Amino acid sequence: MAGIEEKAVDGKLLPWFVLKSVSGIGNRLFKRLIDDFGSPQAVLAASAKQLLQVQGITARLAAGIRAQRITDPIKREVDLVQGAGVRIVTLADPDYPALLLQIPDPPPFLYLRGSLEKKAGCVAVVGSRNATSYGLQAARLLSSELAGRGITVVSGMARGIDTAAHQGALEAKGRTIAVLGSGLARVYPASNRKLFDRIACEGAVISEFAMLTDPEPHNFPMRNRIISGLSLGTLVVEAGRKSGSLITARLAAEQNREVFAVPGSIRSFKSSGTHTLIKQGAKLVENTADILEEIRHRLHFPAADAPETETRQASSGNLTPDERRLLDALSPYPLHIDDLTRCVGMESGKVASTLLQLELKGLVQQSAGKRFALCGG
């Protein structure tokens, strides 16, 4: 793989895709290689003798690594990423979620739309797709209250409880993260397209799957480990005995995270799964205080006095309506210009020129990759 950096559009990014494309290297082995060699570039440049010293590397795998090249599918994937304004957050990136890094099989890299808070305290809120009105109301209320206290609500953007959880967090003007079981170019369900765009503006949408990956059934258990892995605890709001959200709860327990459950009617089969969780030791949740009691000591801020969404106060005499509109949509966390444009509903040229004026006024700063954030955040 000599010369890979000179050939790549993004020399630091391509080696991650190349190493991930080697057949037989799963997430655990990928992380072990990075831990041992420091970077995918170093792995790809290593000798067979050096590779064979890594636990799990066979002669066949070593040969596969040394023979791997930048293929046309890899080039197309990188083009898709760059064209969609998607950011790749690798294991080596300081923005890679610290809690997710602690699970046994973290994704080598995440596809990201939106922004990640480095010190966010996250709680997963999950449950049935075919939820009752009680379940939807509980998910929305609890998520809204958590977000209002500065907690980031994590869910999977599926119908039912997931959608209600995201909506509740957004209604409280808080942050939420959607973890997809498909690629970011395959929004699922399609009915949540507007929700997807709003979360990308006001939180983050992430996936470990390639951009054009369809929402295949086997993707969702893999997706669930990320939902629980990002979070200090997982709250199951409503679930039957065979609900996929019980997988998320099990994974949370295996990851040594808290598990919470909302009780339902003893006559409702849609709560039988949550009742089983409570019998097995999950904490019964009636309000957000029940959750905060268990995670407060791991938060980077006092949840009772959680930070409100930051806004930039400026004299109305010094700002145009368009400038004020963009400032209201921005936060201290960098947002790609394409996501910002979708969020405010302005023409892209107008957004670019208005951002320039805000930069000149010292209110907005630009970072790499056409990302913008409030100054002083």
What is the per-residue pLDDT across 221-258, written as a single tens digit (0 to 9) for each? 999 999 999 999 999 999 999 899 999 999 999 999 99
Average pLDDT value over all residues in the chain: 89
Q: Does the structural domain 321-374 have CATH classification 1.10.10.10?
A: yes
Model confidence pTM above 0.75: yes
Which residues face 372 on adjacent strands? 335, 366
What does CATH list as the number for 112-305? 3.40.50.450
Give the mean model confidence (pLDDT) for residues 59-80. 94
Outline which parts of the chain fall under CATH 1.10.10.10: 321-374
CATH 1.10.150.20 positions along the chain are 4-83
Judged by average pLDDT, the poorest of 154-168, 267-281, 321-335 is 321-335
Q: How much is the pLDDT for 296?
A: 87
Q: Is the pLDDT of residue 13 over 60?
A: yes
Give the sign of the dihedral formed by CA 300, CA 304, CA 305, CA 306.
Answer: positive
d(CA 52, CA 95): 31
Q: What is the pairing mode between strands 233-236 and 122-126?
A: parallel
Contact between residue 177 and residue 333 where contact means Cβ atoms under 8 Å apart: no
> Which CB contacts under 8 angstroms, 24+ apart, belong to 95-98?
97/229, 97/230
Which pLDDT belongs to residue 267? 86
Q: What percent of the chain has pLDDT over 70?
A: 92
- Strand ranges, E, within 163-322: 176-179, 204-207, 233-236, 258-261, 283-284
Which helix (H) or strand (E) segment holds residue 88: the answer is strand 87-90
Q: Supply the pLDDT for residue 356.
A: 86
Residue 250: count of CB within 10 angstroms of its CB: 18
Which range, of 28-42, 70-84, 271-285, 331-345, averages the lowest pLDDT?
331-345
Q: Which two tokens stand for residue 178?
A: 């959607």
* Alpha-carbon separation of residue 195 from 43, 92, 134, 292, 326 (angstroms): 39, 30, 22, 27, 19
Q: Is the distance from CB of 113 to CB of 144 less than 8 angstroms?
A: no
Domain 4-83 has CATH 1.10.10.10: no
What number is the average pLDDT over the span 87-114? 96
- Largest pairwise CA distance in the chain: 70
For residue 280, what pLDDT band results from cuts at 50, 70 and 90?
Answer: very high
Please give the angle made by the CA atoms of 122, 123 and 126, to the nearest 5 degrees: 140
SS3 157: coil
What pLDDT was estimated at residue 303?
61
Q: Band of the pLDDT at 308, cuts 50, 70, 90?
A: very low
The pLDDT-based confidence of 305 (bands split at 50, 70, 90) is: very low
